[in-house]
């Protein structure tokens, strides 16, 4: 029989021991120690990201960091500046972002003290254009160093430059409108455009498209005395590929989808109220072919013969030179009434944008090993738009250059050396001084291929 044991108030109760209490104290201390270490590591990691931020390539982006405010709220701050893109320089900024048109500068103020960093960004999509002033983007160490806001916006903004090559019809789309579509379409119109090196005539010509991308009047930044504050700002436009959209790098409205060049041409059809979204399918109607006349370089030397060959292939043919500076909407509606666009390599082929999907672009490539340039500038974009792309390469016998220069000239004998010498010489001879006289018998199969494609739709 077990004897009873008297217990005082200070003695242990059954099921508890001095060892278990010691273990509890040890575990509490251990957990607190771990929390302190983890907190130190997290803060150190955030500081390291801030201190060691480096220039990145177009395919890499610094993950947005979160900095804790005194109030306990969090503010997302991101500074992602790319000065080594394939063609362009850009910055993506999230946080307290302030623009100053007077100094052509952008400041981002971190939520907590940080180091001072600065980038010089070419806001035009081609960094090689030297006629446009760069934008200074600065990460300031504290809020006291920033000019106070005079206007605060609740929409994001895109800052970009006009000028450069944008007076050319192809460059207007390849250098500005397509990159602007990629930069702004994710906001579904709720975005403000800040324009430096403004060209008022350009905004008038392309007003319908610009207003499809933004519901807000653009700001002429060079004449803007305000300090404008945003939560998000894109500085500069990015070209990923000539005259087209790379879906992996282009977000649609709300960031929920990937954009394609077909999305851009769809926006063009809306903006210019183009009625046709498919080629002619009625068997009794001939498909219509627009033969682009050129009154300057790269002229057709036998244009009437080309017209008759196209008619013999089964097309209704219209020969027309599109005005270089005419209203964009009028040109778009004219081209949309055709099924095929036929022309020698040049900015006039930009009108392929207005063909109905399923239509055909036929590009005549000048002599001089111009195939790669022609394909990248017009051929690949045409395919991305949903068009059938065909090309025809002019032989030396079909070029006007031998008659002008003689058969033994370097431009005739060795096009590779001309390309190695640089763009100026390529442009001078193969683009500016050359005309073409196509061999109709050799060209006829290309016309037949275009006709067959339309009849098989």
User: 352-391: per-residue pLDDT in tens?
Assistant: 999 999 999 999 999 999 999 999 999 999 999 999 999 9
Range with lowest mean pLDDT among 62-66, 356-360, 403-407: 62-66
Of the ranges 28-42, 165-179, 277-291, which one carries the lowest mean pLDDT score? Answer: 28-42
* pLDDT the model gives residue 70: 29
pLDDT digits (tens, 9 = 90+) for 18-38: 444 444 444 545 444 544 444
pLDDT above 90 coverage of the chain, percent: 76
Mean pLDDT across 264-291:
96
Return the pLDDT at 132. 96
Tokens of 84: 């080594």
Mean pLDDT of 36-65: 34
Residue ranges of the chain that CATH labels 3.40.50? 288-456
Answer positive or negative: Cα dihedral of 157, 160, 166, 171: negative
* pLDDT > 90? residue 65: no
Q: Per residue in 290-337, pLDDT tens? A: 999 999 999 999 999 999 999 999 999 999 998 877 789 999 999 999
Residues contacting residue 45 through CB under 8 Å, at least 6 positions apart: none
Beta carbons of 391 and 375 less than 8 angstroms apart: yes
User: Does 6 have pLDDT greater than 50?
Assistant: no
Arithmetic mean of pLDDT, 268-291: 96
Query: So what's the pLDDT on residue 62?
Result: 31
CATH 3.40.50 fits 288-456, yes or no: yes
Distances (CA, A) of 396 to 19, 117, 373, 403, 435: 98, 55, 18, 10, 11
- Find the distance separating the first CA and the last CA of the chain, reported in whole Å: 103
Count of CB atoms situated within 10 Å of the CB of 9: 4
Bigger pLDDT: 25 or 172?
A: 172
pLDDT band for 112, please (50, 70, 90 cuts): confident
Q: Tell me the CA distances in angstroms from 181 to 133, 191, 193, 237, 300, one per residue in order.
A: 23, 11, 12, 10, 35
Supply 90's token pair. 């850009």
Residue for token digits 């792309």? 389
At residue 75, the pLDDT reads 60
Question: Confidence class of residue 77 from pLDDT cuts 50, 70 and 90?
Answer: confident
CA gap 191, 366 in Å, rounded: 42
Instruction: Determine the average pLDDT of the residues in 194-219.
Output: 97
Scan for tokens 């207007």, then name that residue. 172
Provide the sign of the torsion angle of the four alpha carbons 333, 336, 340, 341, taken in this order: positive
Name the band, by pLDDT with cuts 50, 70 and 90, for residue 183: very high
For residue 7, is pLDDT > 80?
no
CA 94 to chain centre: 20
Nearest to 140 by CA among 180, 182, 112: 112
pLDDT at 61: 32
pLDDT for residue 48 is more than 50: no
What pLDDT is stored for residue 31 in this prediction? 43
Residue 235 has pLDDT above 90, yes or no: yes
State mean pLDDT over 82-99.
95
Q: Closest Cα partner for 123 from 195, 211, 23?
A: 195
388, 449 contact by CB (below 8 A): no
pLDDT in tens, 214-225: 999 999 999 999
| Contacting residues for 428 by C-beta, under 8 A, at least 6 apart | none
Averaged confidence pLDDT in the chain: 86
**C-alpha–C-alpha distance, residues 264 and 185, integer Å:** 10
Rounded Cα distance, 92 and 122, in Å: 13
Lowest mean pLDDT: which of 71-80, 85-94, 219-228?
71-80
C-alpha 160/C-alpha 220 separation (Å) is 10
**CA separation for the pair 119, 159 (Å, rounded):** 15
CA gap 266, 339 in Å, rounded: 16
Q: What's the confidence (pLDDT) of residue 255?
A: 80
């Amino acid at each position: 029989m077990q004897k009873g044991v008297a217990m005082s108030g200070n003695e242990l109760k059954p099921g508890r021991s001095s060892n278990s209490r010691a273990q509890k104290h040890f575990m509490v201390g251990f957990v607190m120690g771990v929390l302190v270490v983890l907190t130190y590591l997290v803060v150190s990691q955030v500081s390291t990201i801030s201190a060691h931020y480096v220039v990145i390539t177009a395919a890499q982006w610094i993950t947005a960091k979160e900095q804790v405010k005194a109030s306990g709220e969090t503010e997302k701050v991101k500074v992602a500046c790319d000065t080594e893109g394939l063609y362009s320089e850009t910055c993506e900024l999230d946080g307290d972002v302030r623009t100053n048109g007077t100094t052509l500068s952008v400041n981002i103020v971190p939520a907590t003290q940080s180091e001072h960093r600065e980038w010089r960004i070419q806001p035009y999509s081609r960094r090689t254009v030297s006629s446009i002033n760069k934008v200074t983007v600065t990460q300031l160490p504290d809020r006291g160093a920033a000019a106070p806001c005079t206007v605060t916006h609740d929409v994001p903004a895109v800052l970009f430059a006009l000028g450069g090559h944008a007076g050319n019809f192809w460059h207007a789309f390849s250098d500005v409108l397509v990159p602007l579509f990629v930069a702004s379409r994710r906001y579904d119109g709720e975005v403000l455009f800040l324009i430096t090196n403004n060209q008022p005539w350009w905004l008038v010509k392309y007003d319908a498209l610009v207003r499809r991308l933004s519901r807000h009047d653009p700001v002429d930044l060079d004449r803007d005395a305000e300090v404008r504050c945003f939560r998000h700002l894109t500085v500069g436009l990015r070209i990923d590929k000539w005259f087209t959209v790379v879906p992996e790098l282009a977000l649609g409205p709300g960031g929920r989808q990937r954009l394609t060049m077909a999305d851009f041409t769809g926006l063009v059809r809306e903006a210019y109220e183009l009625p046709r979204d498919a080629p002619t399918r009625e068997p009794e109607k001939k498909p219509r072919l627009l033969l682009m006349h050129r009154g300057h370089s790269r002229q057709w030397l036998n244009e009437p013969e080309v017209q008759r060959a196209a008619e013999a292939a089964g097309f209704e043919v219209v020969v027309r030179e599109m005005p270089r500076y005419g209203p964009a909407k009028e040109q778009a509606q004219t081209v949309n009434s055709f099924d095929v666009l036929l022309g020698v390599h040049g900015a006039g082929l930009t009108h392929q944008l207005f063909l109905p999907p399923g239509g055909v672009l036929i590009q005549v490539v000048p002599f001089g090993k111009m195939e790669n340039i022609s394909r990248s500038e017009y051929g690949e974009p045409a395919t991305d738009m949903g068009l059938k792309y065909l090309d025809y390469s002019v032989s030396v016998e079909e070029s006007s250059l031998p008659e002008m220069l003689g058969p033994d000239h370097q431009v005739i004998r060795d096009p590779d050396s001309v390309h190695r010498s640089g763009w100026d010489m390529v442009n001078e001879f193969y683009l500016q001084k050359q005309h073409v006289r196509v061999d109709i018998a050799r060209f006829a199969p290309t016309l037949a291929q275009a006709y067959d494609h339309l009849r098989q739709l």
